[in-house]
Amino acid sequence: MIHGCRPHRALASALIALLLLPAWPSSARSAETKEYVLANGLKVLLVESPKAPVVTVQIWYKVGSRNEIMGRAGLSHMLEHMMFKGTPKYGKGLFSKIIRKNGGNDNAFTGQDFTGYFENLAADRTELALELEADRLRGLLLDDKEFQLEREVVKEERRLRTEDDPQSFLAESLFAQAFLMHPYHWPIIGWFPDLNAMTREDLKQHYDTYYVPNNATLVVVGDIKSEVLLPTITRLFEPIPAKPLPAAQIVAEPEQRGERRIVVKRDAQLPTIMAGYRVPNFKDEDAYALTVLESILSHGKSARLYQSLVYEQKKALAVGAEYNLLATDPELFYCFVMVKPGQKVEDVEQALYKEIAKLQAAPPSAKELERAKNQVEAEYIFGQDSNFRQAMLLAQAETVGAGWRQVDQFVERLRRVTAADVQRVAKRYLVQDARTVGILIPTPTPPAAPAPAPTLMSEAR
Amino acid sequence: MIKTQTAEGGTQKAIGLLPTVYCLLLILGGCLALQAGPVQAADINPVRYVAPNGLTVLVLEQHALPIVQVHALVKTGSVQDPPGKAGLANLVANLLDEGTATRSATQLAEQIEFVGGQMAVKSGDDFTTASVKVLKKDQDLGLELLADILLRPSFPEKELRRVRSQILGEMQSEQDDPGTIAAKAFNQLVFDGHPYRWPVNGTEATLATVTRKDVQQFYSHEYLPNQTILAVVGDITADQAKALVAKHFGAWKRGVSPPRVMTPPAPLAKPVVKLIQKELSQATIMLGHLGVSRNNPDYYAITVMNYILGAGGFSSRLMNSIRDNQGLAYGVGSMFDPNLMPGSFMVSLQTRNETANQAIAGVLAELNGIRDAPVTDEELADAKAYLMGSFPLRLDTTGKLAEVLSQVEFYGLGMDYFTSYPSWIETVSKEDVLRVAKQYLNPTNYALVVVANQTKAQVKPTANATVAK
């Protein structure tokens, strides 16, 4: 029964829950990851996890909106959709149909730094999923008629997720302000003019450039035996030739010099405040202190933002902080507040900054620090309960350049974070001059257009 | 009884504040709870017993990871809300972890979160769940806290006021979600006159009338060990679980099981349409009618039929027609939401305002199509293969296991459900599919809700439709 969600649902912050990556790990993982690199450069990660007779097969390409150019935003995502439109061997729609009739689920996702494909299915069907993924790594049909239709589907997706969703719309505007030069500037799904301008040739070029084995990571987690599976993987994938990748031409976002503010006014019920701070990614040791800071601010009802803004001051319906250190380039640490009816936006915004200021003025207590570490550690163990999540974590770490091995070192690094570190990174990064603030201001609902009389009605009640 | 579309994992759509990761497909999922195929019987063999106070306990040992998940299902929900008090059951559930006889709301949160554990309460129409997930080393604490919120909630007045204002605020914010707006309107039409018509969280008007006394009364009548199923799954032995359950839940006093009125909702006598104006770029469309209860003997044939119609992801007819061949929508699907009493059947999709009529026509064509002619041998075989073959995927985490176990017990499906399911699916024939399509789909007397910019959508209801205000 879907009906009965808890009112706190809005606290679940950002991603579609399916793709919520676990906060980065902590304790040594119970199952060992085995790494292989095929002759063509394909990285293969295998994890034997026999607790249920199922597997997840995932292939991640190191291409996302980060690898696009102005005017063609959304190309990676559009290509992801086209990956289901057939090859000479398996025609339109057959990929999913075959997986389904073998009792499996498949889907795909595109982010700023990656495009990933997965199949979850019974362990004895692993080879089938691998064969299908190997097949579409080369020779995608990219039929122009199919592309024209799918473009309309993607435009519907944009309407659904962004145009008609006030918070998403705000987030999109905020990123465009926070990143002026770096490709994190534009939305993953692209803007309408980009979608309209896109051609089959753009897709073909993107596919030929980035869908090569030396730009991919294949992960299989589940009830498998590595020594049995590896020869199969080699047989299926190794014949696909490697190809040199273009030299990266991605500009670094220059230092931010002063707060930026944007306001979005649109039909909405309640104001939302977002504050994004420019922070380093996994390449900097501060990433670990930032991870602990995020937890202290926002993990659970005992965390500071909930306790203060929701519980004590009753100014917010939902609050959160988000930090993902597994980004290819430095991203944002951001906080959001859904303002409670009747509260003044300015007051609520100041209340948020006050909580941050407290962490800059004094270090967190020993108990808070311990709780944050325990939470991250437990979340990691819980994450292992799902093959899918485990594979996501390894693949993401590998794809963004952190390397899956750092997953196993994470606990140790996280455990080294001190209360003083948390205070230091709060002071260094969560500062006004490095902040981009986005405010959603609801506008009064426009006067209802004269109700279009449904033409064929008979009676009203 | 749908709130919003769900991602494939069957979880609630979260608000999008991040640069969202986009996926190929959002599926109306998880609604034929317990749909699925064969499973290794030996794997799912819970210990089941009834404690002296009437608490039904299910224990399933899973020793792969040091995790213990405990899931309590209480047989009460919004369907038991007294007249004019819609939202009471949900409010009670939401107050469980906001203070007990010995712990404040903040203490409860601090204790579970300090060990990295998770505690959650969810309320629904027919049942309410409270669950806790902890590391093995914290299993005693996990059960203690879960028992504390179920046995000794104190419902402090100040927390009641705060939680109520929180729910009211969220209700307002739901008005930004066209899917929720449409689902609420849809339930009002389909369950006209029945308690299922109300949102679980109630309405502004009804919630305002709820008092602390209502809350305490509802709790004391409804929250009883003999009305509760407790599923314990994970790295714990049956003996350990039994001892811990006795220690923490033993003091829970058996009570008189509350009477249950099981009047099923009445089917629609004629088509009814509701158009809701909102400044949107897309029309959100829900079309459907009364469905079936979970105990309907045709449940499995319906599952197969609905898979072919609109629950089979990219294999479904609706997806093929509306998305792949016409490019009208990103997501389209159909679902039966089986409750204790008949729930709803619905098709839902979003398309740009201007193509609303075309999409509605496409949906009706598919409803007619599957009623007019038998499905193909291939469609039938593929649907059965998926339903039987995907079962292990529905049971591959401790959380999923705890939830499914407690629901198997709740619906009285019997623990042989896990071994019998494949044969129930396997025996469904083309004739069965055609029969249930004719019997349970109604392309004439349906409820249609369209949330859209109505000037652009210009929805044309059928000639005999009632237009609801």
What is the predicted pLDDT for the residue at B4? 25
What is the predicted pLDDT for the residue at A244? 96
Tokens of B399: 């959380």
Q: Please, which residues have CB within 8 angstroms of residue A370's CB and are 6 or more apart in sequence?
A: B114
What is the predicted pLDDT for the residue at A22? 37
What is the predicted pLDDT for the residue at A247? 87
Residues A109 and A54 in one domain: yes
What is the predicted pLDDT for the residue at B464? 87
Q: For the residues B349-358, what does the mean pLDDT come to?
A: 97
pLDDT for residue B37 is more than 90: no
Model pTM score:
0.90
Whether the Cβ atoms of residue A309 and residue A303 lie closer than 8 Å to each other: no
pLDDT for residue A453 is more than 90: no
Amino acid (1-letter code) at residue B287: L
Is residue A452, in this structure, part of any structural domain at all? no
Residues A283 and A160 in one domain: no
pLDDT for residue B391 is more than 80: yes
What is the predicted pLDDT for the residue at A6? 25
Q: Does B116 contact A154 at a Cβ distance shorter than 8 Å? A: no
* Tokens 């497909």 -> residue: B25
pLDDT for residue A431 is more than 60: yes
Neighboring chain A residues of B40 at a CB cutoff of 8 Å: 53
pLDDT band at A391 (very low <50, low <70, confident <90, very high): very high
Averaged confidence pLDDT in chain A: 90
pLDDT band at B1 (very low <50, low <70, confident <90, very high): very low
Give the other-Cβ count within 10 Å of B136's Cβ: 16
What is the predicted pLDDT for the residue at A410? 82
pLDDT for residue A231 is more than 90: yes
Q: For the residues A179-194, what does the mean pLDDT come to?
A: 97
What is the predicted pLDDT for the residue at A383? 87
Residues A325 and A220 in one domain: no
User: What percent of chain A has a predicted confidence (pLDDT) above 90?
Assistant: 83
Q: Please give the Cα distance from A295 to A307 (Å, whole number).
A: 13
Choose among A200, A110, A314: nearest CA to B167: A314
B386 CB within 8 Å of a chain A CB: yes
Is residue A67, in this structure, part of any structural domain at all? yes
Domain(s) of CATH 3.30.830.10: residues in chain B: 54-249, 272-467
What is the predicted pLDDT for the residue at A411? 77
Whether the Cβ atoms of residue B423 and residue A419 lie closer than 8 Å to each other: no
Neighboring chain A residues of B116 at a CB cutoff of 8 Å: 371, 374-379
- Strands B332-336 and B447-452 come out as unpaired
Q: What is the CATH number of the domain that holds A219?
A: 3.30.830.10
Complex ipTM, two decimals? 0.88
Q: Please give the Cα distance from B434 to A143 (Å, whole number).
A: 36
Q: Does A105 contact B199 at a Cβ distance shorter than 8 Å? A: no
Amino acid (1-letter code) at residue B457: A
Tokens of A63: 């291409």
pLDDT in tens, A125-162: 999 999 999 999 999 999 999 999 999 999 999 999 99
What is the predicted pLDDT for the residue at B25? 53
State whether residue B58 is helix, strand or coil. strand
pLDDT for residue B26 is more than 60: no
Is residue A252, in this structure, part of any structural domain at all? no
pLDDT in tens, B306-321: 999 999 988 899 999 9
pLDDT in tens, B166-219: 999 999 999 999 999 999 999 999 999 999 999 999 999 999 999 999 999 999
Report the DSSP beta bridge partners of residue B447. B272, B288
Split into its structural domains, chain A has a count of: 2
Tell me how close the Cα of A392 comes to any Cα of chain B, in angstroms: 13
pLDDT for residue A321 is more than 70: yes
What is the predicted pLDDT for the residue at B175? 94
A19-57 burial code (b ≥16 CB/10 A, e <16): bbbbbbbbbebebebeeeebebbbbbbbbbbebbbbbbb
pLDDT for residue A255 is more than 80: yes
Q: Does A151 contact B327 at a Cβ distance shorter than 8 Å? A: yes
Task: Please indicate whether residue A285 is annotated as part of the active site.
Answer: no
The domain defined by B272-467 folds into Cytochrome Bc1 Complex; Chain A, domain 1 (3.30.830)
Instruction: Indicate the residue of B113, B350, B462 with minimum beta-carbon distance to A302.
Output: B113
Choose among A2, A323, A54: nearest CA to B1: A2
pLDDT for residue B392 is more than 80: yes
Neighboring chain B residues of A460 at a CB cutoff of 8 Å: 466-469
Is residue A28, in this structure, part of any structural domain at all? no
pLDDT for residue A455 is more than 90: no
Is residue A92, in this structure, part of any structural domain at all? yes
Give the other-Cβ count within 10 Å of A363's Cβ: 17
Q: Which domain holds residue A275?
A: 260-443
- Strands B67-74 and B128-135 come out as antiparallel
Of all residues in chain B, the one with the smallest CA distance to A98 is B382
Residues A280 and A327 in one domain: yes
pLDDT band at A367 (very low <50, low <70, confident <90, very high): very high
What is the predicted pLDDT for the residue at A447? 52
pLDDT for residue A275 is more than 70: yes
pLDDT in tens, B87-143: 999 999 999 999 999 999 999 999 999 999 999 999 999 999 999 999 999 999 999
pLDDT in tens, A80-123: 999 999 999 999 999 999 999 999 999 999 999 999 999 999 99
Is residue A12, in this structure, part of any structural domain at all? no
Residues A311 and A198 in one domain: no
What is the predicted pLDDT for the residue at B387? 95
Q: Please give the Cα distance from A196 to B90 (Å, whole number).
A: 46
B355 CB within 8 Å of a chain A CB: no
What is the predicted pLDDT for the residue at B314? 86
pLDDT for residue A409 is more than 90: no
What is the predicted pLDDT for the residue at B394? 85
Q: For the residues B380-406, what does the mean pLDDT come to?
A: 92
Q: Please give the Cα distance from B214 to B334 (Å, whole number).
A: 37
What is the predicted pLDDT for the residue at A448? 52
From chain B residues 323-352, the ones with a CB under 8 A of any chain A CB are 323-331, 337, 339, 350-352
pLDDT in tens, A27-65: 444 579 999 999 999 999 999 998 889 999 999 999 999
What is the predicted pLDDT for the residue at A30? 57
User: What percent of chain B has a predicted confidence (pLDDT) above 70?
Assistant: 91
Residues A197 and A342 in one domain: no
pLDDT for residue A349 is more than 90: yes
Q: For the residues A258-272, what does the mean pLDDT come to?
A: 96
pLDDT in tens, B278-336: 999 999 999 999 999 999 999 999 999 999 999 998 889 999 999 999 999 998 999 99
Burial class (CB in 10 A: 0-12, 13-18, 19+), A331: buried
- Please pick, among A35, A68, A80, A349, the residue that the annotation labels catalytic: A80
Of all residues in chain B, the one with the smallest CA distance to A151 is B327
Is residue A254, in this structure, part of any structural domain at all? no
What is the predicted pLDDT for the residue at B18? 43
Residues A231 and A123 in one domain: yes
Residues A195 and A284 in one domain: no
Residues A84 and A215 in one domain: yes
What is the predicted pLDDT for the residue at A8? 26
Neighboring chain A residues of B163 at a CB cutoff of 8 Å: 7
Q: Please, which residues have CB within 8 angstroms of residue A357's CB and are 6 or more apart in sequence?
A: none
The domain defined by B54-249 folds into Cytochrome Bc1 Complex; Chain A, domain 1 (3.30.830)
Is residue A451, in this structure, part of any structural domain at all? no
Whether the Cβ atoms of residue B62 and residue B120 lie closer than 8 Å to each other: no
pLDDT for residue A449 is more than 80: no
Residues A404 and A318 in one domain: yes
Residue B385 — φ and ψ, nearest 5°? -60, -40
pLDDT band at B24 (very low <50, low <70, confident <90, very high): low
Whether the Cβ atoms of residue B467 and residue A454 lie closer than 8 Å to each other: yes
pLDDT band at A445 (very low <50, low <70, confident <90, very high): low
Q: What residue spans of A160-199 are helical by DSSP H?
A: 166-178, 192-197
Helix A286-298 vs helix A366-383: angle between axes, to the nearest 10 degrees? 100
